[in-house]
Amino acid sequence: MTIIYEDNHIIAVNKTCNELVQGDKTGDTTLIDQVKAYIKDKYHKPGEVFLGLPHRIDRPTSGIVLFARTSKALVRLNAMFQQHDAIHKTYWAIVQQQPKQKEAMLEHYLNKNEQQNKSYVVSSADIAKGKKGKLAQLRYREIAQSDRYTLLEINLLTGRHHQIRCQLAAIGCPIKGDLKYGAQRSNPDGGISLHARQIEFVHPVSHQTIVLTAPVPDDPLWKYFEEQVG
């Protein structure tokens, strides 16, 4: 866990791919627990520490996670994340198969399978027949290449379950290491090469524009791409 921003109302963390944001059936220590312990120790807080979670990212994904340190900030951030256009999130994804187009907007209807914890693309024809699916939209552009891999920059326009992973797989470009969505092999660290790189929003209390950038994971390929992009 690395703190990349904090003030009296919010705190932002650069999550590694192995850290769990909130509790699940594994019972593993969560990022929420770690941040609470950090606040309690640094500020000598007696009793329970308040920490709100207005959004989350998947466990195998790395990058920025934003927390609220006050109830006022949490209520306002919750509303901002619901609006989608109030908070601008930029992801970096490493894919092995280069997309046919260097940049494009993707639109799919996605259906979440709860038992498999996986999303599937539903065709427009099936939607017309009444099958359930939520519209998912994102924009991507190619920003760097290596001998074997391509780095994509992605801007989310909606917030669906496993949206980036599912939509990139749907165009034949599964994310490196993402076995669930068609990658050929796993990454050594067990994560996937998807990184929540940047978040831009208006501070919920001070109303100043905040732009936060998360350094890439400590991995040679990630470091190569970060250097290429500058």
Beta strands in the chain (DSSP E): 2-6, 10-15, 62-68, 88-95, 103-113, 118-122, 134-145, 150-156, 194-202, 209-213
- Number of Cβ within a 10 Å radius of residue 175: 25
- pLDDT for 26 equals 76
Confidence of residue 83 (pLDDT cuts 50, 70, 90): confident
- Number of Cβ within a 10 Å radius of residue 11: 20
Half-sphere exposure for 225 (CA within 13 Å, toward CB): 27
Confidence of residue 230 (pLDDT cuts 50, 70, 90): confident
Asked if residues 90 and 153 have their Cβ atoms less than 8 Å apart, the reply is yes
**Token pair of 201 as six digits:** 């929003």
Confidence of residue 86 (pLDDT cuts 50, 70, 90): very high
Phi-psi region of 63 (alpha: psi -120 to 50; beta: other; left: phi over 0): left
Tens digit of each residue's pLDDT (9 = 90 or more) over 154-208: 999 998 999 999 999 999 999 999 999 999 999 999 999 999 999 999 999 999 9
- pLDDT for 109 equals 97
Does position 84 have pLDDT exceeding 80, yes or no?
no
User: Which domains are delineated in the chain?
Assistant: 2-229 (3.30.2350.10)
Write down the number of H helices and E strands in the chain: 5, 10
Q: With 0-12 CB in 10 A as exposed, 13-18 as middle and 19+ as buried, what is 105?
A: exposed
What pTM was estimated for this model as a whole?
0.94
C-alpha to C-alpha distance for 134 and 123, rounded to whole angstroms = 11
